[in-house]
Amino acid sequence: MILGDLIKAYRTETHTSMEQFARKCGLSKAYVSILERNYNPVNGKPVEPSLETIKAVASAIGMELNEVLAKLDGSPPPAGIAAALGDIVTGLEVDQLEQMLRIFRHLPPRRQRQLYDYALYLSMLEGQNPLHPNYPDDDPPDD
Residue 47 lies in a domain: yes
Give the CATH number, domain containing residue 71. Answer: 1.10.260.40
- Spatial CB neighbours of 75, under 8 Å, sequence gap ≥ 6: 1, 2, 3
Q: Show pLDDT as tens, one digit a residue, over the chain (143 residues).
A: 889 999 999 999 999 999 999 999 999 999 999 999 998 888 888 888 888 898 899 999 998 887 887 787 554 444 444 445 545 456 666 666 667 777 777 778 888 788 877 777 777 777 776 665 555 554 444 54
* pTM of the predicted structure, to 2 decimals: 0.53
Residue 99 lies in a domain: no
Q: Where are the beta strands (DSSP E) in 74-124?
A: none
Q: Which amino acid is at 79?
A: A
> What is d(CA 62, CA 11) in angstroms, rounded to the nearest whole number?
12
> What is d(CA 137, CA 134) in angstroms, rounded to the nearest whole number?
9
Domain extent, residue 23, equals 3-78
Residue 115 lies in a domain: no
Residue 92 lies in a domain: no
Residue 46 lies in a domain: yes
- Spatial CB neighbours of 101, under 8 Å, sequence gap ≥ 6: 66
Q: How many domains does the chain have?
A: 1
